[in-house]
Amino acid sequence: MSTNNNGAPERRGFLKALGLGGAAAAAAGIAEAAGPIRADAVPAGTARKENEADRLKARYQGDSAHVQAFYRTNRYGG
């Protein structure tokens, strides 16, 4: 009876990859359970605060060139 271990390194590499993949999946599950990370999250100390005038001003300008081009392109009749 002869023992030939030619396939042992290949199997070990496969099992290592399988183990690392499982560990990465578990780490991703733990990170997701902690809550999603927002891309626009800014620390409170560095955030730009809106004053009363900024909060009340009109932001939408329907007569601007890019809004008119959007309505003309999509034929919404605006």
Sites in the chain below the pLDDT cut of 70? 1-7, 28, 31-37, 39-47, 76-78
Q: What is the pTM of this model?
A: 0.30
Copy the structure tokens of residue 25.
């999946």
Q: Half-sphere exposure of residue 23, counting CA atoms within 13 Å on the CB side? A: 6
| Contact criterion met (CB below 8 Å) for 78 and 71 | yes
**Measured between alpha carbons, how far apart are the two ends of the chain, in Å?**
86
Q: Domain limits of the chain?
A: 8-36+54-74
Give the number of other Cβ atoms within 10 Å of residue 10's Cβ.
9
| pLDDT above 70: percentage of residues in the chain | 63
Residue located via tokens 């997701």: 32
Query: Each residue of 18-32: pLDDT tens digit?
Result: 777 777 777 767 766
Q: Rounded to an integer, what distance in angstroms lies between the CA atom of residue 2 and that of residue 68?
A: 82
